[in-house]
Amino acid sequence: MSKNTVAITGNDAAAYAIKQINPDVMAAYPITPQTALVQKFSEYVADGLVKTEFVTVESEHSAMSACVGAAAAGGRVMTATAANGLALMFEIVYIAASSKLPIVMPVVNRALSGPINIHCDHSDSMAARDSGWLQLYSENAQEAYDNTIQAIRIAENMKVRLPVMVMYDGFITSHGIEMVDFLDDEVVHNFVGDYQPNNPLLDPEKPLTYGPLDLYDYYFEHKRQQAEDIKNSKPIILDVAKEFEKISGRPYGLFESYQLEDAETAIVVLSSTAGTTKEVVDEMRAKGKKVGLLKPRVFRPFPYQEIAKALSHLKAVAILDRSDSFGAFGGPLFTEIRSAMMEFGKIPENIDIIYGLGGRDINEQDIEGVYNQLDAIAKSGKVKERIQYLGVRE
């Protein structure tokens, strides 16, 4: 065990990553289960361990507004939020993306009200999936730390210059204690580098305007540029991951495959549930079952070609959604992946499993049951129920 390996919560791991990044400005408002992250970072500020200007505000709408102003002025800017906080800043989240401001924001996933619920599901970040932010999902505290550091390099790349959300599961990851390998401060500093502002508002030599009125004359063209910018971020994400592996020894990609290459059936699932699924895969593999897992890391830009190719050899696949898309044909992860598989041409039988809303637990027996259902589908070639709700009292 290295001297930099510590037992720590996911929130404290993310706060430590922000400390090592040492942004110019952090404007934030506390909300469960994110509160401990902001509180911990405020201690670093109070103790003089960072040079960050910490802005306390009256709401999350104000937090993102302050971030937009600071980023437009030419600062390296970060914040953090969860659930209703993200919903409250929604107007300014869109403005941050359309203004091409490289703000990085950990989002501690929590169910959106109502009724009021403080536990984990992905309804908050999935609601923001079309806001123009890049989205990275984290399985555990280590990935929350690593993704936060990588997000700065991705966001600030001159070919990207877009804001990035880093997701990890509320309470499960945010408050659970895990072993995390930290990099040295100097290593992180050299990795993220000094901030290079692009078209700062406070440059008197190059006066410009942020947030102008943009009607039908040019609005469509600007939205088209946004779409192209997000698409072009994919190779940058992979380049940053390769550089990060050199300093950490930890590989990252667009997604993680686990026992997938020779699998006949597989589950696709985000974040902490992937860790439980890996245990089930190992147990079922020991019994001779050819099962596998695909864990998406990058949801925006959505790597549809790569995911479709990785799943194309399967006989059956279950996509697990920890959020619902009311009135749609399945949850958001399912609709994206099913569409991607149709584009690729070879479509394994597929089902959508909506689970864990509001923090409802999912255990190894539940996941094994999904694999057993996939085995039956693979043998029969028939799907009895395409969209299912796992663990709900019907």
**pLDDT tens for each residue of 160-178:** 999 999 999 999 999 999 9
Identify the pLDDT of residue 48. Answer: 98
Instruction: Single out the residue of 221, 242, 81 nearest to residue 163, CA to CA.
Output: 81
Q: How far is CA 9 from its chain centroid?
A: 18
Degrees to nearest 5, angle at CA 50 with 48 and 54:
90
Identify the pLDDT of residue 3. Answer: 63
Question: Which residues lie closer than 8 Å to 360 by C-beta, 6 or more apart?
Answer: 391, 392
Dihedral sign from CA coordinates of 319, 324, 327, 332: negative
Three-class secondary structure assignment of 58-70: CCHHHHHHHHHHH
Maximum Cα interatomic distance, the chain, rounded to a whole number of Å: 70
Token pair in block for residue 321:
């959604």
Rg (CA), the chain: 21
Identify the pLDDT of residue 344. Answer: 79
pTM of the prediction? 0.97
Identify the pLDDT of residue 172. Answer: 98
**pLDDT tens for each residue of 301-325:** 999 999 999 999 999 999 999 999 9
One-letter amino acid identity for 352? Answer: D
d(CA 137, CA 168): 6
d(CA 254, CA 294): 11
Identify the pLDDT of residue 1. Answer: 36
d(CA 392, CA 15): 35
Ranges of residues in the chain with a pLDDT under 50 are 1-2
**pLDDT tens for each residue of 38-53:** 999 999 999 999 999 9
What residue ranges define each of the domains in the chain, with the CATH number in brackets?
A: 5-248 (3.40.50.970), 255-390 (3.40.50.920)
Identify the pLDDT of residue 345. Answer: 75
Identify the pLDDT of residue 211. Answer: 86
* CB-count exposure of residue 312 (10 Å: 0-12, 13-18, 19+): middle
**pLDDT tens for each residue of 324-334:** 999 999 999 99
Distances in Å between the Cα of 305 and the Cα atoms of 181, 255, 317, 321 are 32, 12, 16, 20
Instruction: Single out the residue of 328, 333, 256 nearest to residue 294, CA to CA.
Output: 256
